[in-house]
Amino acid sequence: MVHGGAGALDNVRDNKTALRYLESIRTIVEHGRNVMELGGSALQAVEACASLLEDDPVFNAGCGSVLNENGKVELDAAIMDGRDLSAGAVAAVGNIANPVQLARLVMTKSEHVMLISEGAMRFADHCGMERVPEDYFYTPDRVEQLHQARLRHKVMLDHDDSDDDSEDQKYGTIGAIARDPEGNLAAATSTGGIVNKRMGRVGDSPIVGAGVYADNETCAVSATGFGEDFMRTVISKTISDFMLMKGMDANQATEAGIAYLTRKLRGRGGVIVIDQHGNCASGFTTKKMIHGWIEKGGETHCSF
């Protein structure tokens, strides 16, 4: 399963842009299938899918990320392997085209789970990862979006759908989760965060248990939405716990997780979930969430 952010795509529905989102989601989820058909693991599949989503400028991750209060990108990403709960994350990094790949290196080549900012960049240099110039990330849409947020004196989801008069209802943050034929689960989430965020703000996406989680005993989860709500409800681990402690399947646990998010905080966003048996589920409190999935090797589905 992959997602391209929770929110509404109403104002671009039925035009070329909407089709672009869908086409990208479909192509990328099918790429994930190919990776695993060729013998790749769930971990390889989610890293490959998340990288492709980061490369597509329509999504709020990697190239095309939203801008912070200083007009800069600060990127967060994480990846987790359900086989042994190993995880890697980076936060507030710039100049890295694929933060999810840096997160994977943190997981495999360091003794840590998370590196941030300058320390993460030094680690990237140490690993020989190429730095890209800042203008690699900028798109005219993102500059305009920051301008609008500043005018309204607010921070916004890339795809904010809370205001009826919202002009900007695009999708954003990306995530990929997979279960491979061996039954291994993996999850990855990557984002530019929220528009006009404070410098140094880190959201849920790189936080294990909040924006990302994978455990072979339960499920793989990737979240999207207002990170502060997801950190406070530890939403991804909460969904996993519903399975572990209450024996729920993907649909039941997702429904229970979304109900908890709503009851406690009226939290805004959504999740994609695959359980240990390969059942796929999604849930969101925004109008929509763009996502695609292939359940148990079946047909490709997309929804937005």
| Catalytic annotation, pick one of 173, 218, 224, 238 | 173
* Position 166 contacts ligand ASP (CB under 6 A): no
* Position 73 contacts ligand ASP (CB under 6 A): no
Q: What is each CA distance from 18 to 11, 79, 286, 288, in whole angstroms?
A: 9, 28, 17, 13
Shortest Å distance, C-beta 230 to ligand ASP: 6
Shortest Å distance, C-beta 210 to ligand ASP: 9
DSSP-derived secondary structure for 192-210: --SBTPPTT---STTSBTT
* SS3 label, residue 243: helix
Q: Which of 35, 103, 157, 250 binds ligand ASP (CB under 6 A)?
A: 157
Shortest Å distance, C-beta 153 to ligand ASP: 19
Phi, psi (degrees; rounded to nearest 5) at 121? -65, -40
Q: What is each CA distance from 257 to 25, 51, 217, 249, 253, in whole angstroms?
A: 24, 27, 18, 12, 6
Pick the piece of the chain touching ligand ASP (CB under 6 A) from 123-131, 221-229, 232-240, 291-299. Answer: 221-229
* Position 56 contacts ligand ASP (CB under 6 A): no
**Nearer residue to ligand ASP within complex by CB, 161 or 180:** 161
E strands of the chain, at which residues? Answer: 2-6, 75-81, 86-93, 114-116, 174-179, 185-191, 212-214, 219-225, 269-275, 280-284, 289-294, 300-303
* Position 285 contacts ligand ASP (CB under 6 A): no
* Position 124 contacts ligand ASP (CB under 6 A): no
Other Cβ atoms less than 10 A from the Cβ of 270: the count is: 27
Question: Which residues in the 172-211 window bind ligand ASP by CB under 6 A?
Answer: 172-173, 191, 193-194, 203-205, 211
Angstrom distance (rounded) from CA 107 to CA 177: 17
* Position 216 contacts ligand ASP (CB under 6 A): no
Angstrom distance (rounded) from CA 188 to CA 182: 19
**Nearer residue to ligand ASP within complex by CB, 104 or 197:** 197
Q: Which of 57, 62, 225, 292 binds ligand ASP (CB under 6 A)?
A: 225
Phi, psi (degrees; rounded to nearest 5) at 277? -95, 0
DSSP H or E run through 144? helix 140-151
Shortest Å distance, C-beta 61 to ligand ASP: 9
User: Does 173 participate in catalysis according to the annotation?
Assistant: yes
Q: Write out the residues near ligand ASP by the rule CB under 6 A.
A: 5, 60, 157-158, 172-173, 191, 193-194, 203-205, 211, 224-227
Would you name the residues annotated as active-site residues?
A: 173
